[in-house]
Homo-oligomer: A and B are copies of this chain.
Amino acid sequence: MIESPNNEKIINYSKLKQKKYRDESSLFIVEGKHLVEEAKKNNLCVEEFILGENINEKAMRKLSNLDNVPTHLAVCKKMEEKEIHGNVLILDGVQDPGNLGTIIRSSVAFNIDTIILSLNTVDPYNDKVIRASEGMLFNINIIRGNLLEIIPKLNMDIYSTNVVNGKNLDEVEFKEPFALIVGNEGKGVSPEVQKLVNNNIYITMNNKCESLNVGVATSIILYEAERKIMHDK
């Protein structure tokens, strides 16, 4: 039973709250029984902590990001990046952890196989991303890299979200595999990435509203793509 927050292992693992240490060690933390189980199913669990069994509340609190200390917490190893395959979602600078988590959850729901994150997109192993993804993070291939190098090598239809020169989502025909690029919450897709793509999509909306939340816009397009692909089958 670990009883001190100053235990050497606890001190080291607690550093995983910071991206820098997650990057160095390729480890991250998941909290809550449901997420720990999802991680175990995927053989990612390195060490599990159970309150009152092998750790006390003080030490658990040192590891946890939550206000209410969880009963279960696990230190996990990051997933391996697999080759790009299937339908691809590309995120160019998404900053909000909640948005990234929501996007990962919707991506699994609507049969995206690979998510490619630009180097300036928020870390998917951030605790808020993992929570918002409801553990769906473990069910999809996630890659991080330089979009300007990766996108030109993709051999599929590539769509970007952009009102300028865009085609109404309702009129877009999707066939598998496809790639969709969505951008930063405030700035959208960056101009350099935009140059690599010819197919722009926009979602028609009431003119009182300038734009949708990026997680919502992404999810609507993925829903619509999946709906059309299923109709064609």
Question: Which A residues contact B (CB, under 8 angstroms)?
Answer: 98, 102, 105-106, 108-111, 132, 134, 136, 139, 170, 203-206, 208-213, 215-216, 219-220, 223-224, 226-227, 230
Contact = CB atoms under 8 A, between A and B. Distances in A.
The prevalent SS among residues of A at the interface is helix
B170 A212 contact: no
Given A106-B212, A223-B224, 19 more contacts: A98-B98, A102-B213, A102-B215, A102-B216, A105-B213, A106-B216, A108-B209, A109-B205, A109-B209, A110-B205, A111-B206, A134-B211, A136-B208, A139-B209, A170-B227, A203-B223, A204-B226, A215-B216, A219-B219
13 contacts: A102-B215, A105-B216, A106-B212, A106-B216, A108-B208, A109-B205, A132-B213, A134-B210, A136-B208, A204-B230, A219-B220, A220-B220, A223-B223
A211 B132 CA distance: 12
A136 B227 contact: no
A186 to B, nearest CB: 11
Contacts of A227: 170
B139 A208 contact: yes
